[in-house]
Structures are given as structure tokens and as C-alpha cells.
Structure 1
Amino acid sequence: MSPSAAAPPPERTRSALGVLGTYLGPLKWQVVALATLLLTGTGLNLLLPQLLRRFVDNAGLGAGADVGLLVRLAGLYIALAVGVQLMTAGATYVGARVGWTATNRLRADLMAHLLSLDMREHKERTPGEMIERIDGDVTALSNFFSQFAVRVFGAALLLTGALIMFFREDWRVGAGVTVFTLTTLTAMNRVRKLGVEPTRLERESSARLFGFVEERLAGLEDIRSLGAGRHHLRRFLQTQREFFTRSVNSWRRRSVVWQLSMLLFAIGYVGVLTAAVGLYAAGTISLGTAFLMYQYMTLVEEPIDQLTQQLQDLQKAGASLGRVSELLALRSEVRGGQTPLPTGPLALDFQQVSFSYAPEDPAARGVLHGVSFHLPAGQTVGLLGRTGSGKTTLTRLVSRLYDATSGVITLGGVPVTAAPLHDLRQRVAVVTQDVQLFQASVRDNLSFFDPQVTDAQVEAALREVGLGTWLERLEEGVRTPLPTGSLSAGEAQLLAFARVLLRDPSVIILDEPSSRLDPATEARLTAAMTRLLTGRTAIIIAHRLDTVARADRILVLGDGEVLEDGERDALAQDPRSHYAALLRAGVLDEGEGVLA
């Protein structure tokens, strides 16, 4: 299951049993194999002390000992002991395979879920925190998926078998060991909860540390150029100190379980050995039986130690499961409909559209207020306005990165809220000023890792935007790795245009594609943009008038409202229009209030 194809996990994943059912269900035969290996190993473990008793009792006969029997018992014991080790190794391998398969599926579902969330959720969390949720918390669940249920069952079976063997030898010793076992399990169950909350706080600190590192690496150029390295390092040490402190506290709380186990078993061993020595001295049991009681006590300790370890892992898994469940519980408010969009270029209509980034806060000022305009299919509108006027927000509503607080937006007569999300975002392409390039091949950067896109299609798109000469210089063609930062701003924009051509959308949104280019590069970009926009509906956010020189219409925003909307030529000839004033000034001045 690929992240792109995975659907958000069902509601039951928010409980431990739901997680087990969801992610271990498809691996049921591997889980059965794991259980078989563990249970077989448990049976052999219970048989080994019986062989030791017969060996010790027979060896104690001195000259009357049956040497042949001793050799057979020794050989059988070695064979069974090797069998136990093989079963353990097999269980470890199968368990690891089950664990990684299940957790990788969970990672894929988490990634798909994160991609489906609203932009608002992503703005509230750093990428580093998201990485920690997807990787760190899921890794902590690995043992829970792979071995928790089966190992707990196997430990319980081994413990029950050992207690039954004690009762077979002497009911008084069996009763005493049973009381000891129940007391130990009750005590550990009471103290195990001490580690859940500290472990949750530890994971949160880890997420903050990841987020801090990610943010500083992203802003490394600014940190260096302003000489702020020492200050950020100091803050890093503070964040790391918090993580270290909480990690130590979490470890201490979790360690209470095994510390208590060690203390109680020290008492338990003394009690069993005292009883065995007393019974042997009284002639009630043989030396081999006394040794067998000690061996079965180790088989009581082993599963309880196993349960102790699993309880510690459960504490970690419980904290991680809680954090993962919180993430899975988030639901996107942006949901698609079922009405398909018409084919071909799409007309765009805004009807009394208003928007606020904090709709739940009545005191918060909205970004857009009653915006209405009509963009005919196949035409281009130049979107002008001062910084903060709502230009970028308006385009985000078209592609439904956010939904309008009120009003209706339609494409081809279909409300964007009624169209399937996947179809909408296939038909609406956005090219931002900061083009995101990946450390991957040229074709993967253009196709976004879609294997169905052919090399020939990628090559055709590159030549269409004027990158044919650049392509011919690449040693491996479109398969050449493209390290991030290896291209100029103009080349990056042209690559972004090629991405759009591969998708063949109906609506294109360009966020000032030529704001940082020299005249020669801008000329190449303008030619590519002309080919790109032909026959398509387009919105161009402009900070330079040259960018909208070929636009069919002009839309001027101010303080979230439409100040002007009309055909570019008509507005240019109207001396009272905002656009004509900008042309006379020869510059789109956002800071001096020309658009006010």
C-alpha cells in the first residue's frame, strides 16, 4: 500500500485492540507462525528441568548409575536446548518481520493522513514534529505490533506450566509460589502506570527537538548572515536539556517495574531454596527434585521478566499510541464532493466570498470581504494589490487549500466544494515563487515520482518550456540526479512550468513568476509562460506591471475587497482607474499606497 493510495485509517485505530486488528489482521499467518514458534519453545522449556532431575538423580547413585542413560539424557537435553534456541531465533526473525511490516503500513497510512489534513493543521505543527510522529512514535510501537500479544500469551503459558509443575511436586511449595507470583504481578501492575505520563512528555520533547533542528537548518542562511549562531546554539542546548531531563525521568519511572521485580525475586528464590533444602533434608524429595524446583523457579522468573519488559514496552507504546491516535483523530474539514468538473478550460466565479484564518474568533479580522468577480474560460486575469490585500489567499481558495468562510466559488459552473478533491487539484495547478525541488532525478522532480509518466513526456515538457539545450547537457538525460539548490531561480521556475505541462490542467495560478529574474531570463520565462497559458484559464499574481501586460483582465484588491475589475485594455484607457494610475507611475508600488 503506497502513501498516496492509502485511505485514512478507520476510527478503531484509536484503541490498542483496533490497532492490532487493523495492522496485524493481514499478517495473520505470520502471527500464527510466530505463536507456534513461541509455544513450541515454551513446551521444550518446561521439559528440560524434568531431564535434569532424572540426570541428577541417576548420577547421584554413584557406581550404580546407568551411564548409557546419562549419555542419552545429556544428548537429549542438548538437542532440546538447541531446539529452544532455534525456536527463539525463529520467533525473533518472524516477530521483527511482522513488526516492521505492520509499522511500515502504519507509517504509510499516517503519511497519507497528514497529506489529507487541512493547511491549518500543518501551520500549527513544524515539519520536525511531524517527522517524529511518523517515525519516532511508530518505531516505539514496533514491539507492540510484532510481539506484545504473542509474547505475553507465551509468557503466561510458561508461567502457568511452571506453577502446575510445582503443584505436581509438592502442593505446599506450589501454593507458596502461586501466592508469590500473584503478589509480584499485582505489585508490578500497580507501578507500571507511573511511566506512561513521563514517557508521553519525553516523546513530546523529542518532537520539539526535531522541530527545532528542522527550523534552524531551513533558516541556516539567515542565521549565518546575521551572526546569530551562538544564540541559536544556546536555545538548542536548552531544548536538548529539556529532552534529556524528561528522558532520564521517564527511564527512572519505567525502571521502577524491573527494580521491584529484582527485589521480589530475590525474596522468591530464597523462599524456594529454603523449602527445597528443608524437604530434601527431611527425605521428602530427592536431590534431583530439589534442583528441579530451582529450575522451575527460573521458569517462573523468566515469564515475569518477560511480562515486565513487555509492560515497559507497553508504557512506551501507550504514550506513542496516544500521540499517533491524536493525529489520526484529526479530520480535514476540506472534503470533496461527487460532481465532476466539465472538460476543457473552466470559467472561474467568486460570489460574495469572505474568508478568515480564524473563523472561530469573532474579533479576528477577515482577509477577504464579499469578493465577487467572473473570469471567462480561457482568459487570464492579472491580480494586483498591496501586500496583505488577500491576493495569495484568494488563489488558495480556488485550489481548496482552505475553504471560504462564506460565499460560493465555482469552476465551470460547479462549486469547488462539490467537485472531487483529487479531480479539482488535478485540474488546478499552482506555481509559487519558491519552487520546491527534491534531491531526486529530473524526471522525478517533474513527475512527482509518478511511474506512469514516461521519460519522453518529461523531455517534451522540458523542450516546450525552453529547457531543451539544458536537457542536452545532462549526462543521464532526465534520469540525471538534480541536487536541490543546483538551479538558478529562472531554471527552477521553468521546471515548475514543465511540471504543470505534464499535468495539462485547466486552470493555472502563477504567483509572480518573474519577480527575481534578470531581463534575459525573464524573456525566456515570458515566452514559456505564453505557451503555458494558451487555451487555459489563468490567474497571475503580479508585483510588476510587465507580468500582466498580456493579461485579458485586471483585478485589483485592497484590504480584502475588490477595488477594480475589468478588461485590461479598457482599464488602461480609463484615466480614473487604479490600473491606469499604475501605468502612469510606471511601477506597481505596494509600499506607497498607489493601490489604496
Structure 2
Amino acid sequence: MLLREAATSSVIGLINGVVMLVGTLVLMSVLDLVLTGVTVAAVLVVIALFGWLMPGIATAQARAQEQVGRLGGVLEGALRAIRTVKVSRAEDRQAERVLVHARSSAEHGISAVRAEATAWTIAWSGIQLAIILILGIGAWRVSLQQLEVSSLIAFLLYAFGLMDPITELSQNLTALQSGVAAAERIREVDAMEAEPAGSRTSAASGPGGGRSSGPVIELRGVTASYRPSAAPAVRGIDLAIPRRGHLAIVGPSGAGKTTLYSLILGFLEPQHGTLFLDGRPYRQHTRDEIRARLAYVEQDTPIVPGTIRDNLLFSHPDASEEELARVLDEVQLAEKVAMLEEGLDTSLSSSQISGGERQRIALGRALLGTPDVLLLDEATAQLDALTEAAVHNCLRDRAAAGAVVTIAHRLSTVIDADDIVVMENGLIRARGDHESLLETDRLYRELVAALRIAHDTAPAGR
């Protein structure tokens, strides 16, 4: 809204005001050059004062808009977590927090309006001062018979006519400052660093060009952190993901599991080391080429606005009805969808979808394509035992045709894996299958014990 006003009505108003101001001054100069000089001097004083006030108005507008943005963020966060707020009996605390930001927003808004009002007052005062000077000097010149009374009256009428263009200019200049402040916040977003696109090269331009028989993805000596000054989240990672099979990644919180996914998905750049896709470094692929080979299911399982069909087709909009029916069967949603009056075209905002069903929709979205690597961040955490068993069978079938990588917090997922990687403090601590790790790795045994998975007592390892 502010940008639209600044780009349309404010700009047009400024042009109109300038034309009217210049035209009026030209007509004044025809009547009397001395009084015109007095008027021009008054206008120049007003312009100088405006120039002095404009930076302050812009700063006040920017602060006011920033506070409004913070208020909106706090209010949105409280409404998004309204159930947690109510269960925690935190309504009063959240209301006070919203009120604090509302008061701050109001204070900055009032400060901005005061600055604008000061500018308008100066504009009006400048014109009133010019009229007083015109009356005084004009009367003196009439007494000296250097100016006709009729000319003085006409000049005064023109002086009164200056009020409209000066008022229009002052109002549109202050409105323009609001638009400039809004544009500055947009420029801040535009100035954010974009992810590198990568450089596409010929598949035959290096070793491993094309799809080889080696690992589909490989990390060699990879070290990465989220900020240049921060400690590395992962260090010296050497990991090969085979083209087929189920690889599980386990470890305590903060071990670096999610960071591995961020690296594989191209959301994080390594500080040292290299990632390879089909034997070629990531930098030789575009981000689209890399992500077209991957499918990712988050633990939070976000649902995009729209229908069930929209969500399933989000990554693969050209999928057929037969493919949709297949994935619905695989994730045990076919019966649920058949019971809905509008079926796949049921709006998710108007239907009762449980957390487990949301998770299955997200999983179905990933399974709809044929990704080379399926990345799962505990994608079965909210499923009941029967549905989880069916989904595990589906993942087992998928692992026979491609790579499935799971960040696992439930050992029921890990036991089914062909290979298990144990991480701790950003390092790969151990790798093997379930039985071998029980025998050789203390941390893995602790993780298994913490998750209450029955197993034979293993001999003391390292």
C-alpha cells in the first residue's frame, strides 16, 4: 500500500505541485520582481527546512514500519501456537508481550506522524510569513508609488494560491518517505545472499560423467558450520551412500545428522571437502539437477495450502491418477481418501487430518516420483504400529530399487536398515549393521537401551 501510494499518487502529486508552484511564481514575476524575490526567498527557506527534516521523517517511518512488522510476527506466532499458549496458561503473558510491541509500534508511529506534522507546519508557516512580508513590503512600495494597489491585490491572490501547491508538495514528500522506507525493507530482503546455482557442465567432462556403478552420493572430508565464526557442525565426514539399500543415521541430539541432510540437499555449503553426485562434484551440477534426484520428508511434515491432490502433486505435477492411487495404497491412505466426500480434491484446511495422516501425505508426495535418494527425517514418528509396519514394507521395496536414507530416533526404523551410521559431536563414530554395532559400539548400545529395544546382552566394546 505504501509503495503503491509512493509510486502513483505521491509522484503525480509532486509533479502537479511543482508545475503549479513554478507557474504561480512566473505569474508573480510579471506583476512585481521585488515581491517575487521575497516569495522565492520564503519558498527556498521552506525547501531548506524540508531538506533538513526529510532524513528524520524517513528514519521515523522506517522504525515505525519495523515495529509493525515485529508486532505482526509476535501476534502470528502466538496465534500459530494458540493451543500451546492455552494449555500453558500463558494467555496473559502472551497478551502482555503483544501489548508491549503494540505500544512500541504506537510510539514510533506517533513519532513519525509528529515529524510529518512538523514538516506541514513549517510549510504553512513559510507561506504565512511570505504573505505577511508581501503585505508589509507591498504597502511600503505602494506608498512610494512604485506599485499599484491593484497589482498588490493580484499578487496577494497569487500568494494565497501558493498554499495549494506547497501543501500538496509537503504532503506528497512525506508520503514518499513512507514509500522509501517500505522499499528499503524490501531491498534488505533482496540483498540477502542467494544460494549458488552451480554450473552445469557436460556429463562427459570429468571422471564419473553419467551415472556410474559407484555411490550415488559421496562426502569426502566434509567440514561445515552454519556461520563462519561458529564451531563446525560436522567435521571430516567421509560417507558414501550406495545406489540401493537403506542407510540409517543415528546419534544424540546435536550430533550433526540434520546438517548432513542440509549438505546433501544443497542448503549448506561445506567449508572444506567435497560432495559428489554420480562421481561428479556438486559444483558441476545445478541445484535443480541435484534436487531432481532427491526426495525429502521432514519430521515436521509441512502441508502446503490446497487439497490432498495439490499436496501429493506438489513435487511431481504431471503424475497420473494410477500413480496417485499407488502411493495412497503404499502409505495406507486409500481408505481414508475414499471416505471423504470430495476424495483427493478435499481441502486440507476444511478436513480433519491427523498428525499421522499429514505425515503419510508428505511421505506419499516423496514416493510419487522415483528419486535416486529418498531422505527421511523420522518420517514415521507419528504413525501407529500397523501403519508403520506397512510403510516400512513400502520403504523396504523402495530400498531395493534406490537409496533410502533415514535419520532415525526410533530403533524400529534402524533395525530394518542395511547399514547404520552412528554420529557424535559432528563426527562419524561407527558404521555397521545392528548386531555388529551392538557388539562394538558403546554409544549405540546406550541409544538402543534408551529407546527400550530388546536385544541380547553384548560384550563390552569400546
Is the TM value for this pair above 0.5?
Answer: yes
Please state how far the C-alpha of 1:403 moved relative to its aligned partner: 1.7
User: Which structure 1 segments of 5+ residues have no match?
Assistant: 1-138
Structure 2 residue aligned with 1:157: 19
Distance 1:565 1:449 in 2: 32
* 1:176–1:559 Cα change, 3 Å: closer
> Which secondary structure state, in structure 1, belongs to the residue aligned with residue 101 of structure 2?
helix
Distance 2:285 2:219 in 1: 16
Contact 2:212 2:279 in 1 (8 A): no
Q: Aligned AA for 2:108? A: R
Distance 2:238 2:356 in 1: 34
> 1 or 2, which has the higher helix percentage?
1
Q: Aligned AA for 1:578? A: D
Q: Aligned AA for 1:423? A: E
User: Which structure 2 segments of 5+ residues have no match?
Assistant: 204-208, 454-459
Distance 2:337 2:60 in 1: 55
Determine whether 1:403 maps to 2:266: no
* 1:535–1:182 Cα change, 3 Å: same
Aligned length: 448
* 1:453–1:344 Cα change, 3 Å: farther
Distance 1:517 1:564 in 2: 29
**Higher mean C-alpha displacement, 328-337 vs 549-558:** 328-337
* 1:406–1:276 Cα change, 3 Å: same
Distance 1:331 1:342 in 2: 31
* 1:389–1:233 Cα change, 3 Å: same
**Identity %, equivalent residues:** 24
Distance 1:573 1:186 in 2: 81
Contact 1:544 1:587 in 2 (8 A): no
Structure 2 residue aligned with 1:412: 278
Please state how far the C-alpha of 1:460 moved relative to its aligned partner: 5.1
> Which secondary structure state, in structure 2, belongs to the residue aligned with residue 158 of structure 1?
helix
Structure 1 residue aligned with 2:55: 193
* 1:451–1:572 Cα change, 3 Å: closer
TM-score (norm 2): 0.84
Distance 2:101 2:56 in 1: 24
> Which secondary structure state, in structure 2, belongs to the residue aligned with residue 434 of structure 1?
coil
Distance 1:427 1:210 in 2: 38
Determine whether 1:210 maps to 2:79: no
Determine whether 1:350 maps to 2:219: yes
Please state how far the C-alpha of 1:276 moved relative to its aligned partner: 7.8
Distance 1:484 1:406 in 2: 48
Please state how far the C-alpha of 1:229 moved relative to its aligned partner: 1.9
Q: Aligned AA for 2:31? A: E
- Larger relative contact order (C-alpha < 8 A, sep ≥ 6)? 2
Q: Aligned AA for 1:193? A: P
Structure 2 residue aligned with 1:23: none
Structure 2 residue aligned with 1:228: 90
Structure 2 residue aligned with 1:541: 407
Contact 1:276 1:293 in 2 (8 A): no
Please state how far the C-alpha of 1:394 moved relative to its aligned partner: 1.3
Structure 2 residue aligned with 1:512: 378
Q: Aligned AA for 1:384? A: V
Please state how far the C-alpha of 1:224 moved relative to its aligned partner: 1.8
> Which secondary structure state, in structure 2, belongs to the residue aligned with residue 332 of structure 1?
coil
* 1:143–1:456 Cα change, 3 Å: farther
**Which residue of the other structure, out of 444, 458, 471, is the alignment partner of 2:337?**
471
> Which secondary structure state, in structure 1, belongs to the residue aligned with residue 374 of structure 2?
strand
> Which secondary structure state, in structure 2, belongs to the residue aligned with residue 514 of structure 1?
coil
Could you list the per-position Cα deviations for residues 205-262 of structure 1 after superposition, in whole angstroms to 9, with x for gaps in the alignment? 2222122222222332222222222222222222222111121112112221101112
Contact 1:347 1:376 in 2 (8 A): yes
> Which secondary structure state, in structure 1, belongs to the residue aligned with residue 365 of structure 2?
helix
**Which residue of the other structure, out of 150, 167, 187, is the alignment partner of 1:305?**
167
Please state how far the C-alpha of 1:309 moved relative to its aligned partner: 1.4
Distance 2:6 2:386 in 1: 60
Distance 1:344 1:462 in 2: 32
Could you list the per-position Cα deviations for residues 42-94 of structure 1 after superposition, in whole angstroms to 9, with x for gaps in the alignment? xxxxxxxxxxxxxxxxxxxxxxxxxxxxxxxxxxxxxxxxxxxxxxxxxxxxx
* 1:475–1:160 Cα change, 3 Å: same
Contact 1:398 1:416 in 2 (8 A): no
**Which residue of the other structure, out of 237, 244, 267, is the alignment partner of 2:129?**
267
